[in-house]
Amino acid sequence: MDFKTAKDTESSLLPLYLSVFVAVLGFSLVAPIFPLYVIGLGASYSLLGFIISVYGAVQLITQIPIGRLSDKKGRKPLIILGLITFTLLPPLYIYASDPYILIPIRILGGIGASAVWPLAMALIIDQVSSQRRGASMGRYNAAFYSAMAIGPLVGGYLYDRYGLSAPFYFWALLGLISIIIVAVRVNEPPRHHMISSLPSSGFKEKLIISGYDWTFLACCGVVMWTGIVGGFNITLLPSYASTIGLSTTQVGLLYLDYAGISAVSNIYFGRAADRGRRKLLVFGGCLIGMISFFLLLWASSLSQVLVLMALIGLSLGVGNPAAAAMIADATCQSRRGEIFGIFNTSRMSGVVIGPLVAGLMADLYGVDGTIIAFTGISAAITLGTLIIREPRDSR
């Protein structure tokens, strides 16, 4: 495959990074109010966990087929269809009168998300060389997490100033803006460039390069932990914060702290991943996250929680770009829509596991029991990174 120069490539990817930022900013607006909103409709913690996790559960089913479809038909049209759901569904939340009504809304939203995140990642990888994958994934993650940092503060302000409807309507507006950006400014390489390496017999390339199956699984485990942390944050972070006397505004500050540090560190460590030692970055990031999460048990003030949430955000920034780059290095190039469908399915399995575990453990053992359970999951994933092999011949 012929790649553009690094400068030209990054310039052409800027609209895609921007569309990711705008889209994530939209749904992150409701992060600090969504758990309280659902509980206010009469849901228990367990039902809250289910309502949140069904969004990810749908993506477990739909991301891989949609990824395969994008390998054949193209990524940009499917991304636009996914973004349409980000525009049409938010107002439906406003008119929900029962928590169970939220379930079909979340299902449709999950289908839309399946057409956005894995395909955006695949579209980026389609256009960069192996030597630039870490940096490009770092920028993608930075766009994602910087929006996650800003969105809750903006959403909290809109809620306090204009009421419950305002964050949801602004989410719909941002969804419309992201559609326009993708439709007008995002370009996709011709499909024949992506499939030129297929054998003439018509058989598919093997999905994973021989000898790297365990590396692929371990890297999927790393991104699953990202989803688990996100599931904890959206489900129980407001409740955890309230147990130590923090206000809603301070909860928004925690989101800003966590996601802001993650965004900045993704850029730096994405570049570091392109210089080598990706396995060390993945292991180190997971280890930092595990220790920091465990220490939440002893945090008792805003300053202490801010430090720990910053370290958790840092852990994701250290390990995630390297894991995504190794996924691309260890797999075939003609099936990247499917590959990143699997990769993001792993993340969404964490988004499913996180809220379910958080809700169940909170009902049974309180917030502290949830933190202990999550620390155990993190320890298992950290140990799993020790089996990673770094691909030597990246494509």
Per-residue pLDDT of 97-155, as tens digits, reads 888 999 999 999 888 888 887 888 888 888 877 777 778 878 888 888 788 778 877 88
CA 234 to chain centre: 13
Please report where in the chains the tokens 């089996």 appear, as a residue: 387
Q: Which of 229, 57, 43, 20 is nearest to 142 (CA)?
A: 20
Mean pLDDT in residue range 310-326 = 89
Q: Is the pLDDT of residue 393 over 70?
A: no
Q: Is the pLDDT of residue 36 over 50?
A: yes
CA dihedral 12, 18, 24, 27 (to 10 degrees): -130
Two tokens, residue 395: 């494509």
Higher pLDDT, 320 or 5: 320
Mean pLDDT in residue range 320-330 = 85
Give all domains of the chain, ordered by start, each with its CATH number: 13-189+205-387 (1.20.1250.20)
Helices 336-384 and 302-329 sit at what angle, rounded to 10 degrees? Answer: 130
Residue 262 has a pLDDT of: 86
Gap between the Cα atoms of 46 and 91, Å rounded: 25
Per-residue pLDDT of 278-299, as tens digits, reads 899 999 999 999 999 899 999 8
* pTM (global) more than 0.75: no
Cβ atoms of residues 371 and 293 within 8 Å: yes
Please report where in the chains the tokens 């994933």 appear, as a residue: 381
Higher pLDDT, 83 or 13: 83
Q: For a pLDDT cut of 90, what percent of the chain falls above it?
A: 12
Q: Is the pLDDT of residue 311 over 90?
A: yes
Q: Is the pLDDT of residue 203 over 50?
A: no
Q: Is the pLDDT of residue 318 over 80?
A: yes
Q: Which of 321, 319, 343, 349 is nearest to 331 (CA)?
A: 343
Residue 10 has a pLDDT of: 59
Residue 104 has a pLDDT of: 92
pLDDT band at 11 (very low <50, low <70, confident <90, very high): low
Residue 304 has a pLDDT of: 92
Per-residue pLDDT of 241-274, as tens digits, reads 888 888 767 777 887 888 888 888 888 888 888 8
Q: Is the pLDDT of residue 358 over 80?
A: no
Residue 250 has a pLDDT of: 79
Cβ atoms of residues 9 and 128 within 8 Å: yes
Q: 216 CB contacts (<8 Å, ≥6 apart)? A: 208, 327, 330, 331
Q: Is the pLDDT of residue 197 over 50?
A: no
Q: For a pLDDT cut of 70, what percent of the chain falls above it?
A: 92
Q: Is the pLDDT of residue 193 over 70?
A: no
Residue 283 has a pLDDT of: 94
Cβ atoms of residues 252 and 32 within 8 Å: yes
Phi, psi of 227 (to 5 degrees): -65, -40
pLDDT band at 317 (very low <50, low <70, confident <90, very high): confident
